[in-house]
């Protein structure tokens, strides 16, 4: 890939030529594109520890950050990396950490400390299959962990979920912006496929504006000392800190929702999916429409704040919703909370590093459609109960206690 230093070679090149080179399309692996996007976004310091399937992100930073005179540290562990990040971010530096699912779990305590102390930082999770060590295959089974707070205490963090490598590069800059605007950690989550796949990427990197922070620990010479902390032993004081955090989260939920819709204008059914699952769903939707099924895609880009009001409005005119995930069913709970019974909600997912196929998704959609039609013909209110099995077409197959063998876009912005 062409670096900034290489672009600068040749002083006779015009500004337009330099910009054209910067915006050329390059075949990049997802991990490497995310790393370069962070560098171009002005990341001052990176801390990490090797783990598959995100190791290439760390390797890219190991080469590029020292080239630019910036801080790169391969820590002795994930615990070391996240706590180094806490210290660096407390100085006002633009900081990023990356890992994969087991490593992210080890970082939960420090993430809570950063949320409690208002320390901005970007954490990238290239998700792999679990639980436990699981496998290095792709997964979306960290949804609960990411969207419900990750560590202990009453806190949330914004969670961004790209569906392509190009979008991931755009969202890295957004993550830094949100972190600094709201003084909060921000997570960017992508499954292992997005981390390991290669796609043509248009190098349209963005560098968020720099700000001076009146809380940053930059040395107290000539000014009063500052303290960045998450501890308050007086209950009334700690409650006020918590109330301020909850106010901040309400503001984030009100202003920072991102989502995308496709083929929803005339849709009778919708598939809700994010990341790689959304790309599989798009193929299934194209096939289904060829068969006369009017279905569209609702894709959350912010997993938190979840686009609940937008989905609630849409659900009022739908016959049914199918949620597709690389998990046993986690986002589907937020979908059901948003829909509040306005239409049936079904689920299809795969686990263990496996990915649903378009044919599977289309089959699940046809099963949902058939159930809705049967219920309507019987004159009853349509309702699809939560499936009692971890995957499949929500068609009542027996739950296996062991691991079974498996045989026009509208984009919603910040409000």
Residue in 72, 125, 94, 118 with CA at minimum distance from that of residue 207: 94
| pLDDT score recorded for residue 20 | 65
| pLDDT score recorded for residue 1 | 39
* 313/235 same-domain check: no
* 249/270 same-domain check: no
* 100/174 same-domain check: yes
* 84/176 same-domain check: yes
Number of structural domains in the chain:
2
| Domain ranges, residue 379 | 260-397+408-412
| pLDDT score recorded for residue 378 | 82
Residue 289's CATH number? 3.40.50.920
Q: Does residue 218 fall inside a structural domain? A: no
Binned average pLDDT, 10 residues per bin, the chain of 415 residues: 36 60 81 98 98 98 98 98 98 98 97 97 98 97 95 97 97 98 98 96 91 95 94 97 98 98 98 98 98 97 98 98 98 98 98 98 97 84 46 36 35 54
| pLDDT score recorded for residue 8 | 35
Q: Does residue 223 fall inside a structural domain? A: no
* 146/292 same-domain check: no
Single pTM value for the model: 0.87
């Amino acid at each position: 890939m062409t670096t900034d230093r290489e672009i600068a070679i040749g002083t006779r090149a015009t500004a337009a030529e330099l910009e054209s080179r910067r915006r050329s399309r390059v075949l990049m692996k997802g991990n490497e594109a995310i790393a370069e996007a962070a560098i171009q976004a002005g990341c001052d310091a990176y801390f990490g520890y090797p783990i598959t399937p995100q190791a290439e992100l760390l390797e890219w930073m190991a080469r590029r950050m020292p080239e630019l005179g910036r801080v790169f540290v391969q820590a002795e562990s994930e615990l070391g990396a996240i706590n180094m990040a806490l210290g660096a971010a407390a100085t006002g530096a633009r900081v990023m950490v990356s890992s994969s699912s087991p490593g992210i779990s080890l970082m939960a305590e420090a993430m809570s400390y950063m949320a409690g102390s208002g320390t901005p930082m970007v954490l990238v999770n290239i998700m792999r299959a679990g639980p436990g060590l699981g496998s290095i295959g792709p997964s979306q089974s960290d949804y609960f962990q990411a969207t419900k707070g990750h560590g202990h205490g009453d806190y949330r963090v914004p969670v961004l979920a790209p569906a392509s490598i190009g979008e991931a590069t755009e969202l890295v800059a957004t993550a830094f912006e949100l972190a600094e605007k709201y003084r909060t950690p921000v997570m960017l989550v992508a499954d292992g496929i997005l981390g390991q796949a290669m796609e043509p990427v248009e190098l349209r990197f963005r560098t968020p504006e720099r700000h001076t922070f009146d809380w940053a620990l930059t040395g107290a010479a000539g000014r009063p000392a500052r303290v960045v902390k998450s501890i308050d032993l007086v209950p009334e004081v700690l409650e006020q800190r918590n109330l301020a955090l909850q106010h901040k989260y309400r503001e984030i939920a009100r202003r920072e929702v991102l989502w995308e819709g496709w083929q929803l204008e005339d849709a009778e059914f919708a598939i809700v999916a994010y990341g790689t699952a959304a790309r599989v769903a798009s193929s299934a939707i194209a096939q289904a429409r060829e068969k006369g099924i009017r279905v569209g895609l609702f894709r959350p880009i912010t997993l938190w704040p979840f686009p609940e009001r937008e989905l609630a409005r849409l659900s009022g005119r739908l016959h049914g919703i199918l949620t597709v995930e690389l998990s046993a069913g986690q986002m589907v709970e937020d979908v059901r909370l948003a829909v509040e019974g306005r239409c049936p909600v079904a689920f299809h997912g795969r686990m263990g590093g496996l990915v649903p196929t378009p044919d599977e998704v289309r089959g699940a959609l046809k099963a949902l459609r058939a159930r809705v039609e049967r219920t309507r013909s019987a004159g009853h209110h349509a309702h699809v109960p939560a499936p009692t099995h971890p995957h499949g077409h929500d068609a009542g197959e027996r739950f296996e206690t062991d691991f079974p063998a498996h045989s026009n876009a509208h984009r919603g912005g910040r409000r």
